Amino acid sequence: MSIKETEEGIMEDETEQRGSMKSFLWHGGSVYDAWFSCASNQVAQVLLTLPYSFSQMGMASGVILQIFYGFMGSWTAYLISVLYVEYRSRKEKQNVNFNNHVIQWFEVLDGLLGPYWKAIGLTFNCTFLLFGSVIQLIACASNIYYINDKLDKRTWTYIFGACCATTVFIPSFHNYRIWSFLGLAMTTYTAWYLTIAALVHGQVEEVTHSAPTKPVLYFTGATNILYTFGGHAVTVEIMHAMWRPRKFKYIYLMATLYVFTLTIPSAASVYWAFGDELLTHANAFSLFPNSPWRDAAVILMLIHQFITFGFACTPLYFVWEKVIGMHDTNSILLRAITRLPVVIPIWFLAIIFPFFGPINSAVGALLVTFTVYIIPSLAHIFTYRSASSRENATEKPPAVIGGWRGAFVVNVVVVVWVFVVGFGLGGWASMTNFIKQVDTFGLFAKCYQCPPRH
């Protein structure tokens, strides 16, 4: 049975699922659900650190690299979607049934290229998603502190770690329908709050915009932008939750175009208003005065970070379920209990490395580079390296890029650029900055970048 036949076969189920309010809110799988999931997952707490990146690299570089990495990320997300369809088509021709089984990226690599690729994909993907969850938890503590500073950020991390652990009860990406919609709405409000508030506030007295000044700062900021548009490590899981996965291939690009309307105006406006002050304020909220509008943005961002924590953690839950043999169980409670051990190391790492901002760049350079840029590009090259595989490909490259030759050239450019600039220069810069934060504040910092108490 082909993937096309599979999609046609579930259309009746799709119609039935849309019939009740519970299904409408809880069970998604449409193109729109996938778009909301991609856009919501792509821009969360990083929205608050992009002005910090602009202060490191300057306005022009910040805007240009956002666009450049946005399109590069859309290309590699497209490659992941193509490889997923290829893998699933081959397996369904062998009558493999995926009922009660969520296909994941490492399984795609295993099926198409073998166990070594599986091991590499599993290692990078899980490590990236682990630290992606850590970053969301750190961001929760960093944000709530600007509403209530009676507790230090470490204590808030304990509290939000317990709150985020409740994501173990969300079975799969099917069940993020209402959450994805709300998450994107909340981020949209926050982005436009930052933009409008910065313009209304105006430039601070004697504002300076000296960036770029140091290579280490420039490449740290550039790597944070690379991280921003590298949120497609959950692409396969989102596709598997779709009723018709073939329709995914351009969804991530459409999501990226919308994300541009949030990230570019907000980062540019805040940097214009505060300039070099952002170099010591990784969280943009810290520079705005208290107001009901700001508090609303903080609260909405907190809720969205809870949602994004679930996005990053759910694939890890799937992996853990498969390891212990609980992935095919239908009991939500039993699955939730077995998932809890996944949250514990995330909680612990968030307490060790509370460096909101610098940790984004470190994760971007060391993990995002390989997970969602280099590995998908190389996997596409090796999957279709033979003439027969190209001839029998389920999805052929678009003619606009020059077919197979154009796809090969683009893939090579992505691999070389990301390895040299992202992993090489970005890794050096981000780790230098990260080590500086450790030397300045220490591991297990109780309240990272908190203003002194009077």
Q: Which residues contact 348 (CB under 8 A, 6 or more apart)?
A: none
Mean pLDDT rounded to a whole number for the chain: 86
- Answer whether 7's CB lies under 8 Å from 245's CB: yes
Model confidence over 45-69: pLDDT tens digits? 788 889 999 999 999 999 999 999 9
Task: Check pLDDT > 90 for residue 410.
Answer: yes
- Residue from 88, 121, 250, 255 nearest 183 by CA: 255
Task: Check pLDDT > 90 for residue 190.
Answer: yes
Predicted pLDDT of residue 453: 58
- Answer whether 360's CB lies under 8 Å from 46's CB: yes
- Answer whether 171's CB lies under 8 Å from 318's CB: no
Q: Which domains are assigned to the chain?
A: 33-441 (1.20.1740.10)
What share of the chain in percent tops pLDDT 90? 41
Check residue 233 and report its DSSP letter: G
Model confidence over 243-280: pLDDT tens digits? 888 888 889 999 999 999 999 999 999 999 999 999 88
C-alpha 112/C-alpha 279 separation (Å) is 45
C-alpha 351/C-alpha 345 separation (Å) is 10
Predicted pLDDT of residue 16: 45
How many C-beta atoms surround the C-beta of residue 159 within 10 A? 13
- Answer whether 229's CB lies under 8 Å from 73's CB: yes
Provide the whole-model pTM: 0.89
Task: Check pLDDT > 80 for residue 360.
Answer: no
Predicted pLDDT of residue 145: 79
C-alpha 104/C-alpha 83 separation (Å) is 11
